[in-house]
């Protein structure tokens, strides 16, 4: 088995927040949930070949999935020794009261809340989430934490939807050296992808019909379970490669706007 630092999986492609320039494209109206049986089959195909130190369940927003908690024991069966890491924005956790019990039973697990803004408006909405996590920690002894993901936020592409464009700095080595996802390979549709921007780019293309500038990156070939051991080792040993050129060589920092989507209004409400 090949030991790797981290392996990630989307449980849901959609998100209840809309963070500008999300590297998973979760701000662009995608739908779709990972089927439990599909997850069991695809994880089993890798379980005796890869030994991730951490296996991360995320999205999108994973708590959108109605079977969110059921993925915890499923992940523990696939990788008994891995640290299970759940990353969520926290706002929908109250839908899953069984989650803390399953995390406690799984052991070696942590529930991490990603904080996407530091404004009073955002932090006030987090107060019920903080209270819930304190109760879960007290009642079940689970590990919880938070990190300010909006700090150091950078653009991963230019524009949105059909007008989205890759960067054209033509310096994959520099892009890789700044890459925030260099330790975040994704398992998606049974294959393993170098990073989220590559894994979910075909989904973005299917929805919007991306321009020709994306063609080299849409042709990226992920790693499939029937690969040889040599191919497996080579895949995880690679640093910068041509596909890294889609991301900026000199990341552009910006202040992330408040990521709550605009509420939908009925036609009568607009009159």
List domains and CATH numbers for the chain: 2-258 (3.20.20.70)
- The radius of gyration computed from the CA coordinates of the chain, to the nearest angstrom, equals 19
Q: What's the pLDDT tens digit per position in 114-159?
A: 999 999 999 999 999 999 999 999 999 999 999 999 888 999 999 9
How far is the CA of 8 from the CAs of 23, 169, 225, 266, in angstroms? Answer: 14, 28, 16, 38
Q: What's the pLDDT tens digit per position in 225-258?
A: 999 999 999 999 999 999 999 999 999 999 999 9
Q: Model pTM?
A: 0.94
**Token pair listed for 179:** 């890459």
What pLDDT sits at residue 270? 42
Relative to beta strand 186-188, strand 191-193 is antiparallel
Contacts with 70 (C-beta within 8 Å, 6 or more apart), sequence order? 36, 102
Whole-number Å distance between alpha carbons of 172 and 127: 41
Contact 155, 254 (CB under 8 A): yes
Q: What's the pLDDT tens digit per position in 83-112?
A: 999 999 999 999 999 999 999 999 999 999
Whole-number Å distance between alpha carbons of 59 and 234: 27
Whole-number Å distance between alpha carbons of 195 and 223: 12
What pLDDT sits at residue 265? 53
């Amino acid at each position: 088995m090949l030991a790797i630092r981290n392996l990630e999986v989307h449980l849901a492609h959609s998100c209840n927040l809309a963070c500008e320039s999300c590297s998973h494209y979760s701000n662009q109206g995608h739908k779709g949930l990972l089927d439990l049986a599909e997850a069991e089959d695809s994880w089993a195909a890798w379980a005796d070949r890869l030994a991730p130190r951490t296996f991360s369940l995320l999205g999108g927003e994973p708590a959108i999935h109605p079977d969110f908690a059921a993925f915890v024991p499923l992940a523990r069966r696939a990788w008994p020794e891995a640290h299970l890491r759940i990353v969520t924005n926290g706002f929908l956790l109250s839908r899953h009261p069984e989650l803390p019990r399953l995390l406690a039973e799984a052991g070696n697990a942590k529930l991490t809340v990603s904080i996407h803004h530091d404004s009073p408006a955002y932090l006030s909405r987090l107060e019920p989430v903080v209270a819930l996590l304190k109760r879960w920690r007290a009642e079940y002894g689970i590990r919880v934490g938070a990190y300010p993901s909006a700090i150091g936020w950078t653009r991963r592409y230019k524009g949105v939807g059909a007008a989205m464009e890759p960067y054209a700095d033509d310096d994959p080595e520099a892009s890789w050296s700044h890459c925030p996802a260099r330790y975040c390979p994704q398992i998606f549709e049974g294959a393993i992808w170098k990073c989220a921007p590559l894994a979910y780019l075909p989904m973005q293309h299917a929805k919007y019909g991306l321009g020709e500038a994306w063609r080299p990156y849409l042709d990226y070939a992920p790693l499939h379970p029937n690969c040889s051991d040599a191919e497996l080792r080579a895949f995880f040993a690679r640093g910068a490669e041509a596909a890294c050129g889609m991301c900026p060589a000199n990341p552009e920092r910006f202040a992330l706007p408040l990521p709550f989507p605009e509420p939908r209004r009925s036609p009568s409400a607009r009159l």
